[in-house]
Structure 1
Amino acid sequence: MVRYPNVLVGYDATVESDRALRWAVEEARLRRLGLLVCHCWRWPYPISHVDYDIEAIVRRMGEHLLDKGMSRAKELAPSVEARGRLMDGPAYAALLHESPEAEVIVVGSHEQGELPVGSTALRLPARARRPVVVVRQAASLHERVVVGVDGSPGGDAALAFAFEVAALRGWSLRAVHGCWEPGAVAESELPLFADAEELARSSSARLERAVALWCDKFPQVEARTSLVVKGPRTALLQASEEADLVVVGDRGTGNVDPLLLGATSSALLQHAPCSVAIVHTERY
């Protein structure tokens, strides 16, 4: 597993970004990594309108917000080595630019169901090649990680990250497989959906095999499996109601444009009540 030198977090002094900063500081502390706090300022007028005095004021406002984030990070964890970076332009593009050196990227989010199409919380996970944690909750309520398992490379990467998070934070883990997805299986497997018992048996065996490997690597994690004869989106959204973090791959077994997230990942970012981590296949 390749290691990277920092945890990257976007900060803009909103309540949502303060939640993200809290998560990122703790992630950096637990992983014994540095923290990179990034604030992005934007020219609020058409590009054709140039006023260097106003630009200087906007930039100084950005510097002030970044200083506030740095002070907050040091307040939360004095032992974490934190650096700040002021950038201009869209936040998702700036964070993407800094992402190659990040072990984990952390951003804040509005409550579920409120994310606009151009939101950083939607655009960044679709393009970054590092795990992106979209933070919603202010504090841990359940001390549990839920991870989606579907036998895809993305699902395997999600399992690796989920076990790592659970081990670092001392949380329990629940691996969920929503097996009713006939549109995403090979043609040879379609007959299984005519026999519910055989589908459950086959899917359960696949789930147990996938999780067993990580249980051996992380014996300290209290892990259990849940096979749900429903679509993966429904299964994971239900499970996320009793979790602090739900982890999924960027795309599952279906055919998806490589520049887009899968349907399940997108649905969780929009509707999960807890924080969501999107993990890309090549990460693990």
Structure 2
Amino acid sequence: MTHGSHVLVGYDATQESERALRWAAEEARLRGLPLRVCHAWRWPYPVGYIDYECMAKVQRIGEHILDRGIALAHDIAPTVETQRHLMDGPADAALMHQAHGAELIVVGSHDLDELPVGSTALRLPARARRPVVVVRPTGTRSGEVVVGVDGSAAGDAALAMAFEEAELRGWRVRAVYGCWEPSAARDEDLGLFNDQEKLCRVCRDRLDRAVAPWRARHPLVEAEAALVVEPPRQALFAAAETADLVVVGNRGVGGLEPLALGATSTALLQHVPCTVAVVQAAGQFTVLED
């Protein structure tokens, strides 16, 4: 992972954003970084309707919300330096604007199966250049980070973050490779699906080679590499049932458009019960940033 200068969190005084703030404050403390708390206020009326006195009131409400977030951050992690940023406009655009130089971005999430298609928790991971952590309400359950391995560059970046988080928090890593997905396989791998034994042998070697460098860099982290003869989505869903954090690349080897999340990443954000981190491959984005 490329290291940044702060941890960025979106806060709007909801329960979801309070959970995100708690995760982000702890993350900043563990990493020894400042915490940047961002609130985006929005003018609730059509653009053509301007009432400057009313607009000033809406902005002041935003300032009070941000004050509350800063106070909460001080209570959670009193030794962490806090930075405040009040902006107007959609939350995902505001966070994108503040994301330059961030180590990672943290946002809250609605309950399972209630994530709207246009929500920040889906839009931001699809657009951001930095890792995005979408925090769910579950507390620490097993001390396990599950990470999806698929042989892609983003998958390797996910491994880097998973081992780093595990070392910071004293957790263990379970690297999961769901190898049964013929529709997304590389052309040279298609023939393997006619011979399951050979498929498992090739994919086990690929998994072990992907995990080995991170084991070496983080020798104190307990790590397991699990090959599962199921589609990646099902393999990760099952592993997430008892995990504290699932880390995945934003897209795998299927060659999707640059701003799109992969189907597996999207499904995890929408349906798994634990916190999810979405990581981009180094150098993946070259032009786009708000």
C-alpha displacement of 1:143: 1.1
For residues 111-162 of structure 1, the C-alpha deviation after alignment (integer angstroms, 9 at most, x for no partner) is 2211101100000000000000000034211111000001100100000011
Aligned-partner Cα distance in 2 for 1:157–1:49:
46
Aligned-partner Cα distance in 2 for 1:235–1:69:
37
What one-letter code is carried by the residue in structure 2 that aligns with 1:185? A
Unaligned runs of 5+ in 1: none
Aligned-partner Cα distance in 1 for 2:227–2:70:
43
Asked if the contact 1:131–1:283 (Cα under 8 Å) also holds between the matched residues in 2, the reply is no
For residues 18-65 of structure 1, the C-alpha deviation after alignment (integer angstroms, 9 at most, x for no partner) is 100000000000000000000010000001110011101101100000
For residues 68-117 of structure 1, the C-alpha deviation after alignment (integer angstroms, 9 at most, x for no partner) is 00000000011000011110000000000111121010000012211101
Aligned-partner Cα distance in 2 for 1:223–1:148:
13
1:96-135 equivalent positions in 2, closer than 5 A: 96-135=96-135
2:172 aligns to what? 172
Question: Quick check: 242-251 or 131-140, which moved more?
Answer: 131-140
For residues 208-267 of structure 1, the C-alpha deviation after alignment (integer angstroms, 9 at most, x for no partner) is 111111001001101001111011011101110110110000100112011111111111
2:33 aligns to what? 33
What one-letter code is carried by the residue in structure 2 that aligns with 1:94? A
C-alpha displacement of 1:186: 2.4
1:236 aligns to what? 236
Query: TM-score with structure 1 length normalisation?
Result: 0.98
Following superposition, which runs of at least 4 residues in structure 1 exceed 4 angstroms of deviation?
Answer: none
Asked if the contact 1:19–1:138 (Cα under 8 Å) also holds between the matched residues in 2, the reply is no
Asked if the contact 1:130–1:283 (Cα under 8 Å) also holds between the matched residues in 2, the reply is no
Query: TM-score with structure 2 length normalisation?
Result: 0.96
C-alpha displacement of 1:184: 1.8
Find out whether 1:157 has 2:186 as its counterpart.
no
Aligned-partner Cα distance in 2 for 1:229–1:239:
13
Aligned-partner Cα distance in 1 for 2:186–2:69:
49
Unaligned runs of 5+ in 2: 285-290
1:271 aligns to what? 271
Aligned-partner Cα distance in 1 for 2:137–2:206:
32
Asked if the contact 2:241–2:273 (Cα under 8 Å) also holds between the matched residues in 1, the reply is yes
What one-letter code is carried by the residue in structure 2 that aligns with 1:236? L
Aligned-partner Cα distance in 2 for 1:99–1:239:
30
1:226 aligns to what? 226
What one-letter code is carried by the residue in structure 2 that aligns with 1:186? R
C-alpha displacement of 1:283: 6.6
Asked if the contact 2:7–2:28 (Cα under 8 Å) also holds between the matched residues in 1, the reply is yes
Asked if the contact 1:126–1:260 (Cα under 8 Å) also holds between the matched residues in 2, the reply is yes
Asked if the contact 2:138–2:273 (Cα under 8 Å) also holds between the matched residues in 1, the reply is no
Compared CA separation, residues 283 and 78, structure 1 to 2 (3 A)? farther
Aligned-partner Cα distance in 2 for 1:283–1:18:
32
Q: How many residues align?
A: 284
Find out whether 1:198 has 2:198 as its counterpart.
yes
For residues 151-188 of structure 1, the C-alpha deviation after alignment (integer angstroms, 9 at most, x for no partner) is 10010000001100000000011000000011222222
Alignment RMSD (CA, Å): 1.1
Aligned-partner Cα distance in 2 for 1:69–1:186:
46
2:71 aligns to what? 71
2:54 aligns to what? 54
Aligned-partner Cα distance in 1 for 2:269–2:150:
18
